[in-house]
Amino acid sequence: MSHLLLPDASIPALVLRAVVVYAFLLLALRVAGRRELAQMTSFDLVLLLVISNAVQNSINAGDNSLTGGLVSAATLVALNWLMGYATWRWRGVERVVQGKPIRVVSEGKVHVSALRQELLTLAELRSALRKQGIMRISDCRVVTLEPDGTLTAVRRDVEQRSLAELAHPQARFEG
């Protein structure tokens, strides 16, 4: 019964292992590219499940105790919360972790090098634009590949206004 509760590895070792594996996976997914994030297929889901199984022993050092599992899980949840907070709080962290948006179309012209860099085909670009109700690339003022892997488009016929024009006038309440 004591093996169920008492971890084989020390708690600091379990925490360190979880931190290292989390950082490695974060880096690996960042290198994999933003395109993969928005277009997850069944193959991607299988890959994530296999990766989670592959790194399990790296995190828990073969420790199958309840405490070891809870320490590892709590460390991963805490790391995930800290990364969320850090990306919200500091723009530099957000850019490093998530990346910057990439412009793939300007004034109806495709940035071929950007498509190539992100492994995005012309057919995929056209498909994403059709989903936004845009039938031709030439109808776009700007198309941006966002850090989360989605494509956002601004049509040429859409007026863009300044913040001053869009700001709601402050209402005065007298009472």
Q: Which helix (H) or strand (E) holds 98?
A: helix 91-98
Q: pTM value?
A: 0.58
Residue in the structure block whose two tokens are 């003022």: 141
pLDDT at 106 over 60: yes
Angle at 143 between CA 140 and CA 146, to 5 degrees: 160
The DSSP letter of residue 107 is T
For position 38, what pLDDT does the model report? 56
pLDDT above 70: residue 2? no
**pLDDT tens-place string over residues 66-80:** 788 888 888 888 888
Quote the mean pLDDT of the chain. Answer: 82
Q: Quick one: pLDDT at residue 62? A: 77
How far apart are alpha carbons 74 and 25 in whole angstroms? Answer: 17
Sequence spans of domains, the chain: 2-98, 102-155
Q: Give the model confidence (pLDDT) of 19-53 as tens digits.
A: 888 888 888 777 766 554 556 666 676 777 778 87
Model pLDDT, residue 137: 95
127 dihedral zone (left: phi>0; alpha: psi -120 to 50; beta): alpha
What CATH class is the domain 102-155?
alpha beta
Percent of the chain with pLDDT strictly greater than 70:
87
Q: Is pLDDT at 122 greater than 80 in this prediction? A: yes
Better-predicted residue by pLDDT, 83 or 175: 83
